[in-house]
A and B are shown apart, each in its own frame.
Chain A
Amino acid sequence: MSHRLSGNEAIAYAMKQIDPDVMGAFPITPSTEIPEYFAQYVANGEVNTEYVAVESEHSSMSVCIAAQAAGARAVCATSSCGLALMYELLYVAASCRLPISLVCVNRALSGPININHDYSDSMGGRDSGWIQIYAENNQEAYDNFIMAMPIGEHPNVRLPVMTCMDGFITSHAVENIELLETDVVRRFIGEYNPEHYLLKKENPLAVGPYDLSPYYMEHKVMQAEAMKAAKVRILEVAAKFEKISGRCYGLFEEYRMEDAELALVLMGSTAGTAKAAVDKLREDGVKAGLVKTRVFRPFPGQELARALAGTRAVAVMDKSEGFSANGGPLFAETRSALYDLKERPYLIDIVYGLGGRDVKVEDIEKVFGRLADIAVTGEIGPLYTHMGQRSKGGDR
């Protein structure tokens, strides 16, 4: 069914269709509308969810952990400083192998305080053991959220899933969307029947006890193996999802990459803007393409290396700084992934759009212009720069 919804409306509607057992609810811009819209569904009796209004994000994630450990399905939504306040609990959720579904409406993390979009919030959680899937638009946010539970709950995976979308750009923009029928969503999600849970009377458990060094490392390896298994499961779920929706998803999206010589690696809504730039350049005969990272955790390193193997020059575009003094987080992953290629493309990093600074089609065209120069001269210039930076040194 065709509709027009904002990203936040789409997520709230997906949650309504799923009818989870528990929601840990706490507001923070720009994710606030999700628990707001969902509260209406609760008030109208349209869902059976236990809606727990808490006093902080630390508590909303704690509610989700307790509920999921008890054998229930739990969801929540947050942004920026809210995700930061959950930080300790993110690790608890992942290491307890609790497949909670969290929506992160990405927003710059303080300071200075800023409400607009970049990935500094979820990138801080990239080593927490959560699966992270990023959306380009409202449709992908809706679709990714519906796929989250079948991915996370699989016995080989049992990991929490963070569905990420761009704050304001996606969360507050109304666009066309195709919604699935609720019974189709329910059948796709299925029942949640965990093998072990806190309140199972035949086999009661302790959850989250102290772990000594003789076992700790084994547990971490199991978590790491689960993350590897998630890559397989994400593709299985995507294949099933295509059957019910007609929409095809991979670990990343390759756009006009078949013969591309110049390519971008980037994520989120900017990928849509960059597609328009690629189309324009293709009309002028430039062999441009892009890879849109969808699944950031687990990171599809080998697959990405294959996708970029035929290119001559690649720019990774990071919408978070990372402060490594060596490029942003997407750059670090991409550069590492390319190491095993016999012939590697030239590679640069461009940090852009921090705190919601807008990115235009022309900005992306400039990046391709720089890649074209690099492909010809073999000189990459500065390895990592900031797009549109106005201080000393100017716009590179």
Chain B
Amino acid sequence: MVTNDMVEIRWHGRGGQGAKMACMLLADVAGLEGKFVQGFPEYGPERMGAPITAYNRISEKRCTIHSNIYYPDYVVVVDESLLDSVDVTGGLKEDGAIIINTPYSPQEMRIRLPGWTGKVCTVDARRISEEILGSNFPNIPMLGAVVQVSGVLDTERFLADIEESFENKFASRPQLIQGNMATLKKSLEEVQIG
């Protein structure tokens, strides 16, 4: 649990994986719970599979800063293959954590993060998504993992509020709501903190 006035989260994903959507959902739910929020993507060339970054600021007072986040409290890696090409722990605060979508354990992942001595958290978001939804949508399980690890929102309240948010988002496809809720809950249970 971070007790700063502001929690900053940086998402690393690939175009098409829904990292931006998860980032926006987190902003929406945190805002619903009375926080001041920012959720914004950083775009390079727009194409499927290209590395993308997205950012969240969640605070008690309105934040007027509109730069990218260089010293995040938490980093979420939605695609494990980015570890080879992106400096994902760059600027990550020592008392923060990195949360990676991978079938491996935190101990196994730590060797792939030279120079990083802080917390490493892992969750097999791909397997969770494939088991429950039948296809690979890792973003929502990763959202559950970052809420669990960061403690930025109360978990029970988060689940209730996001269900409401899903009802709006998936108004035309209500069959997606229960599946996504299940992936969230599964991820909250399974995330390993190391």
Residues on A facing B (Cβ under 8 Å): 2-4, 6, 29, 115-116, 136-137, 166, 168-170, 172-176, 269-273, 275-276, 358-361
Contact = CB atoms under 8 A, between A and B. Distances in A.
* Residue picked from A168, A176, A271, most chain B C-beta under 10 Å: A176
B39 A173 contact: yes
A361 B8 CA distance: 15
Contacts of B66: 137, 166, 169-170, 173, 269-270, 272-273
Contacts of B64: 136-137, 271-273, 275-276
Contacts of B36: 175-176
Interface residues of B, number: 22
Interface of B: 24, 27-28, 31-32, 36-43, 46, 62-68, 70
A152 B31 CA distance: 34
B150 to A, nearest CB: 18
Given A168-B43, A174-B24, A174-B27, A272 B65 contact: yes
Contacts of A29: 46
A282 to B, nearest CB: 14
Contacts of B37: 4, 174-176
B30 to A, nearest CB: 8
Contact of A358 (B24, B46, B62, B68): B68
Given A4-B32, A115-B46, A174 B39 contact: yes
Contacts of A6: 24
A3 B165 CA distance: 12
Nearest to B30: A4
Contact of B28 (A174, A272, A358): A174
Nearest to B24: A174
A276 B36 CA distance: 16
Contacts of B31: 2-4, 174, 176
24 contacts: A4-B27, A6-B24, A115-B46, A136-B64, A137-B64, A166-B66, A168-B42, A169-B66, A173-B38, A174-B24, A174-B31, A174-B38, A175-B38, A175-B39, A176-B31, A176-B36, A275-B64, A276-B63, A276-B65, A358-B67, A358-B68, A360-B67, A360-B68, A361-B67
A284 B39 CA distance: 30
B67 A174 contact: no
